[in-house]
Chain A
Amino acid sequence: MSESAAHVVPLRTYVLILTILMALTATTIWVAFQDYGPLNNVIALTIAVTKMTLVILFFMHVRYATRLTWLVVVAGVVWLIFLIGILMSDYFSRGWLGVPGK
């Protein structure tokens, strides 16, 4: 049953991912104390999304998973973007028309 054995990720890869995740954590803390104006949020979220992607791809083995798993994972993230994106489009545009009782 050799063909049924799961893909074993090399130890080096895991250690590398751990190191990058720790470095990104230190970076996000450091950046938070600098003043980049509205860019602070963008940088913090970019780092968080990068960390999430690394965890999903390597620790959670999605890089080595079937296409169906890829589809489910991506669909989950896309639906989350729908949830927050459409909600915010409502909240941001509410004041535009001056409708009473907004």
Chain B
Amino acid sequence: MSSVHGPAGHGGAAHPPLAHHFETLEQQRQSTSLGMWVFLVTEIMFFGGLFAVYVVYRNMFHEAFDVASHHLNVRLGGINTAVLIASSFTMAMAVRGAQMGKRGATAAFLVLTMLLGFTFLGIKAVEYRHKFEERLFPGPGFQFQTHATADLAAGGGRGGGSHHAPSGVSPHTEVVDPRHARIFFSIYFAMTGLHALHMVVGAGLLAWLLKPTLAGRFGPAYHDPVECVGLYWHFVDIVWIFLFPLLYLIGRH
């Protein structure tokens, strides 16, 4: 642990977790969480692109999105929202345990967070299976039976080439084109799928934290890995906080 540029007061020898390019553990901790936040900003822009796609198409095909949204299960989606918020709470408690050096409590909350994460993924899998059975996956077998107020035959559309026009036509007279509903389900599977992938990665990170936690590596001075995984987990929770109302709750009234 020889330091070439560290001035007096360097704590490297006394605190093995302190990397040689930091002067204090506090500086290291602040830099670590700042770095994690910079990564999360790239994630904001990553998901942001998909949210932008959603905003554009929802404005284009407003009616179709409202009708397609009815095929999602609000009950399961709502339960999953509660499960994810609860997991964010247990994650915060795990970080808190690590900050206070309580290895048993930290490990227990990490496992609890992981279990809630798997509960979310399990419910999501059930929802996906229903969508496949209803042939709503935007693949070759996609079939969408419109039950709009007008109840006009599926595939009517608004005629050749005009589907790029914003939906300025008054609602209720508009025909829901299955192709537009298909766009909704493409966005649904892309965004919730990407979100679920993040959950799987998060569960892996939680498992990775268990060994050092039980070994007593984390305490008031050093708990950066737990803090960073916590930031990541909460970010994934925030993405769902937006996905739930935007996908499940539109056009319900």
Residues of A within 8 A of B (CB): 1, 3-6, 8-9, 11, 14-15, 17-18, 21-22, 25, 28-29, 32-36, 40-41, 44-45, 47-48, 51-52, 55-56, 58-61, 65-66, 68-69, 72-73, 75-77, 79-80, 83-84, 87-88, 91-92, 95
Contact B92 A80 (CB under 8 A): no
The answer on a CB contact under 8 Å between B245 and A6 is: no
Residues of A within 8 A of B221 (CB): 1, 4-5
Known: A48-B245, A55-B237, A60-B231. A29 touches B78 (CB 8 A): yes
How many residues in B have their beta carbons less than 8 Å from beta carbons of A? Answer: 58
Interface of B is mostly: helix
The answer to whether the Cβ of B216 comes within 8 Å of any Cβ in the partner chain is: no
A44 near B245 (CB under 8 angstroms)? Answer: yes
5 further A-B pairs in the complex, CB-CB below 8 A; given A17-B89, A56-B238, A73-B37: A5-B221, A22-B85, A55-B238, A69-B30, A84-B55
| Contact digits for B234-250, partner A, Cβ 8 Å, 1 yes 0 no | 11011001101110011
Residue of B nearest to A1 (CB): B221
Flag if B44 contacts A14 (CB, 8 Å).
no
Docked pose: A32 CA to B88 CA in angstroms: 24
When distances are taken between beta carbons in the complex, the residues of chain A under 8 Å from B26 are 3-4
Complex Cα distance, B220 from A61, in Å, reads 15
B121 at interface, CB cutoff 8 A: no
Q: Which 3 A-B pairs have the closest CB atoms?
A: A76-B41, A32-B249, A35-B253
Among B91, B165, B242, which residue has its beta carbon within 8 angstroms of that of A59?
A: B91
Across the two chains, which residue of chain B brings its CB closest to A72?
Answer: B37
Q: Does B93 contact A (CB under 8 A)?
A: yes
Q: Which of A9, A65, A80 contacts B33 (CB 8 A)?
A: A65
A25 B92 Cβ-Cβ under 8 A: no
Asked whether A48 lies within 8 Å of B37 as measured between CB atoms, the reply is no
Q: Is A45 within 8 A of B34, CB to CB?
A: no
Knowing A72-B38, A84-B51 are in contact, say whether A66-B30 is a contact too (CB < 8 A).
yes
Smallest CB–CB gap between B7 and chain A, Å? 17
Return the chain A residue nearest B75 by Cβ.
A29
Distance between Cα atoms of A79 and B192 in the complex (Å): 23
Chain A residue nearest to B69 in the complex (CB): A32
Q: Which of B15, B85, B245 contacts A21 (CB 8 A)?
A: B85
Question: Roughly how many angstroms separate A66 CA and B29 CA in the complex, as a whole number?
Answer: 11
Residues of B contacting A18 in the complex (Cβ-Cβ under 8 angstroms): 85-86, 89
Measured CB to CB, the closest approach of chain B to A99, in angstroms, equals 13
User: Using Cβ atoms and an 8 Å threshold, which residues of chain B touch A29?
Assistant: 74, 78, 249
What distance in Å separates the Cβ of B112 from its nearest Cβ neighbour in chain A? Answer: 13
Q: Are A83 and B45 in contact (CB under 8 A)?
A: yes
Name the interface residues of B200-253: CB closer than 8 Å to any CB of A.
220-221, 223, 227, 230-231, 234-235, 237-238, 241-242, 244-246, 249-250, 252-253
Is B241's CB under 8 angstroms from A52's CB?
A: yes
A48-B249 contact, Cβ under 8 Å, with A1-B221, A55-B88, A76-B41: no
Closest to A53 in B: B238
Q: Is B148 an interface residue (CB 8 A)?
A: no
Residues of A within 8 A of B237 (CB): 55, 59
Q: Are A60 and B234 in contact, with the CB atoms below 8 A? A: yes
